[in-house]
Structure 1
Amino acid sequence: MELILILQLLISIGLINVWFFRFNKATEFRGGNAKNMREEFQAYGLPAWSMYLVGAAKVVIAILLIVSIWFKELLIYNLLALAVLMIGAVLMHIKVKDPIKKSYPALSILFMIALIFYFTMG
């Protein structure tokens, strides 16, 4: 289904964009008053190594979401792993009392994951 393909690509491109092109840039969605990814993880009270672990996981998931276009059996595992990370992102924003707007990217990805599940499993 074309919608699923589009959603997979949107999620993948979004993750790559955040972790490669916006890593050292301020955005309106950064947690706390962070101006880059390092400051954001510090604002959440997370150790520096966790930023690299989360980043690596998200980049691998982004790549595997593209691979799962051809190997569909990988899709569910990638989506579940990404859903866990996105729920974690929302919880971190709640932890630092961010306005809901800062959670929009994670919530948008969770919505796209739900759509993919609905159209592939439901």
Structure 2
Amino acid sequence: MELIGYGIIALKIIVSISILNVWLLQKNKATKWRGGTAKTIFEEFEVYGFSKQFCYIIGTLKVALALILLISIQLDALTLIGSLGLSLLLFGSILAHIKIKDIWYKSFPAFLFIVLNLIIAYSAF
């Protein structure tokens, strides 16, 4: 395997673990990245004007897509599903931050992970 291939594997791991961390381990913890003044992921969705059920749907999709991205290390055919699916959801995150007029830096993680996911997707071609 080429060095680029190892780099893409590293990106898949970084993106996946980061998404899983946010949605499974850090969901009830305050961070400087949360929208508005929210302390938990549920509060953040409330700030955006979304329901708790919508939070569960998005969380389930993000966790599933992060796992798909991890599995794509072995099954390349899943790469585009995981990376482009996460990119779409992360773009929605940026729009939610814009909707409530958040400070720009709160959108930075979503923007960064979109860029990483697009690099991963590009590598699949």
Q: Is the structural similarity TM-score above 0.5?
A: yes
Question: 2: distance between equivalents of 1:54 and 1:70?
Answer: 25
* Matched residue count: 121
Pairwise CA distance, 1:20: 1.2
Which letter maps to 1:43? V
Pairwise CA distance, 1:26: 0.4
1:94 and 2:103 correspond: no
Pairwise mapping of residues 19-34 of structure 1 onto structure 2 (< 5 A)?
19-34=23-38
Question: 1: distance between equivalents of 2:11 and 2:92?
Answer: 21
What SS is found at the alignment partner of 1:30? Answer: coil
What SS is found at the alignment partner of 1:20? Answer: helix
8 Å CA contact 2:8–2:120 kept in 1: the answer is: yes
Pairwise mapping of residues 1-122 of structure 1 onto structure 2 (< 5 A)?
1-121=5-125
Question: 2: distance between equivalents of 1:108 and 1:99?
Answer: 16
Deviation string 1:90-112 (CA, Å, 9 cap, x unpaired) is 00000000011100110110110
TM-align CA RMSD: 0.9
Pairwise CA distance, 1:119: 3.2
Question: 2: distance between equivalents of 1:118 and 1:24?
Answer: 34
Deviation string 1:56-96 (CA, Å, 9 cap, x unpaired) is 11111111111111110111111121111000000000000
TM norm structure 2: 0.93
Structure 1, unmatched stretches of 5+, are none
